[in-house]
Amino acid sequence: MTEVQHLLSNEITDSWKLAGRNWGTSLHRIMSRTGSFPPSLARWAVEKFSDRGDIVLDPFSGKGTAPLEACMARRIGVGNDLAPEAYVATRAKVNAVPLREVRRWVEEAARLMRPDTVSVYDVEEEVRVFFHPQTLKQILAVRELLQESDDDTANFVKALMLGILHGSSEISLSLPCSHSFSMAPAYIKKYARQHGLKRPVRNVLACLLRKAEAVLADGLPPVRGACFNTDALKLPLADQSADLIVTSPPYFNIQTYAWDNWLRLWFLGHDYRKVGKRLFGTQSVEKYTEFMEKALREMHRLLKDNRFCVLVVGEVKLGKNRIDMAELLTDPAERAGFTARVIIRDSIRKGHKYLMYLKQWQGVGRERLLILSKGEPAMRERRLEWREVGVG
Ligand SMILES: C[S@@+](CC[C@H](N)C(=O)[O-])C[C@H]1O[C@@H](n2cnc3c(N)ncnc32)[C@H](O)[C@@H]1O
């Protein structure tokens, strides 16, 4: 049995930690979503463990960070996420469209939309709390136009809309609130009253265009990828179709993705309660390990021989216990056929903690990378002599 090697992220000479906080192409900023990892980490894993033209898969792609970084590094990025808003964001990144396509869509929408004929009183009160009636009428008109279409341009516009639906910038359509997650209506109502917050009147199509200009400022990725919206336990891909897997699986149920995105899901025509039932989540270590073993078996099936699988996990507090997910997943990964090679430990700096709004007992303390291999990849050829990588 191969011994697992342990490294600290600051022992790696070319660590992703060296990248600045806002590192990454402008397309990453189409929509923020809780629980995502930094683009620089995804790029590091992609460049270390794959070559140009390779297929890089993320079966739990969230907002699509890893597939986009794969495309940026001239690999074919393939994403999948069961959550509808995550699918829209990932697809928008791997199948982005040029600005002229967005302009064309906006011009057409301006001709077709009749916001004055739309009634806002058919909409749930929880949604109306966030928007001025004039803005909401336009949102409803855009939503109706988008609901019928599923081409790449319509998907890209959906992602842009999700990116401006709520937040506190001058192009956000809601009253000032969080951009990363949809706040609870009862809370925001009270908060808005206490702080005298106003629901802004916006020109939705103008805001959409400004968002597109910002997001496409650095241009399109050099390579297009692909995206699925299905269960990671059963992906519609042939055996051995990926050259590398880079993924961050669900972290027990500390992340309530469906509730966090309830307003975005409303915009896309979904009920967050139904979506929440489909996404995986549990507080039971046993159920979690069982689910992850199945997910790892599927990853093992999809990965080519002599290739790597990189899992970005964490150290999680569950009740009174502290669980190192890299350690926890080592046995299930080996039962699924992988060899555990390296665990890289890291500290998420205070204040940068992307899960800050969670209660202390729920938070992810430290990031961990669990690097697995299927077979025996040629480490030397790939310049992956672990001790040479570290400076310690
Ligand atoms: C830790 S997040 C991934 C975040 C991603 N790395 C990013 O940068 O945005 C885990 C993801 O798993 C998704 N998920 C949960 N259950 C799933 C399932 N059974 N199949 C596919 N995706 C699932 C969630 O929607 C969530 O986006």
Please list, in sequence order, all residues whose beta carbon lies within 8 angstroms of the beta carbon of residue 284, skipping any fewer than 6 positions away: none
Instruction: For ligand 1, atom 3, name the residue with the nearest CA.
Output: 62
pTM reported for the whole predicted model = 0.92
pLDDT one-digit tens code per residue, 168-210: 999 999 999 999 999 988 888 888 889 889 999 999 999 999 9
Nearest to 109, CA basis, from 159, 134, 160, 143: 143
For residues 73 and 246, the answer to whether their CB atoms sit within 8 Å is no
pLDDT band at 253 (very low <50, low <70, confident <90, very high): low
pLDDT at residue 201, rounded to an integer: 98
Ligand 1: centre distance to CA 16 (Å):
22
pLDDT one-digit tens code per residue, 350-362: 444 444 333 333 3
Ligand 1: centre distance to CA 275 (Å):
12
pLDDT one-digit tens code per residue, 18-52: 787 789 999 999 999 988 889 999 999 999 999 99
Instruction: For ligand 1, atom 26, name the residue with the nearest CA.
Output: 62
Please list, in sequence order, all residues whose beta carbon lies within 8 angstroms of the beta carbon of residue 54, skipping any fewer than 6 positions away: 75, 76, 243, 244
Ligand 1: centre distance to CA 167 (Å):
22
pLDDT one-digit tens code per residue, 289-309: 999 999 999 999 999 999 999
pLDDT one-digit tens code per residue, 202-247: 999 999 999 999 999 999 999 999 999 999 999 999 999 999 999 9
Q: Which atom of ligand 1 is nearest to the CA of 58?
A: 6
pLDDT at residue 317, rounded to an integer: 79
Pocket lined around ligand 1, Cβ cut-off 6 Å: 33, 35-37, 60-63, 65, 81-83, 86, 231-232, 248-251, 257, 279-280
Task: Measure the CA–CA gap between 22 and 38, rounded to whole angstroms.
Answer: 9
pLDDT one-digit tens code per residue, 329-378: 999 999 999 999 999 987 554 444 444 333 333 344 578 999 999 999 87
Reported in sequence order, the residue ranges of the chain that DSSP labels E, i.e. its strands, are 5-8, 55-58, 76-80, 226-228, 242-247, 303-318, 321-324, 339-345, 364-374
For residues 72 and 222, the answer to whether their CB atoms sit within 8 Å is yes
The neighbour count for residue 355, using CB atoms within 10 Å, is: 18
Domains of the chain (ranges, CATH numbers): 5-84+223-389 (3.40.50.150), 99-215 (no CATH)
pLDDT one-digit tens code per residue, 86-131: 999 999 999 999 999 999 999 999 999 988 888 898 899 999 999 9
Average pLDDT, whole number, for the chain?
A: 89
Residue 358 burial (10 A CB sphere; 0-12, 13-18, 19+): middle
pLDDT at residue 206, rounded to an integer: 98
* pLDDT at residue 273 tops 90: yes
Task: Measure the CA–CA gap between 165 and 263, rounded to whole angstroms.
Answer: 8
For residues 372 and 308, the answer to whether their CB atoms sit within 8 Å is yes
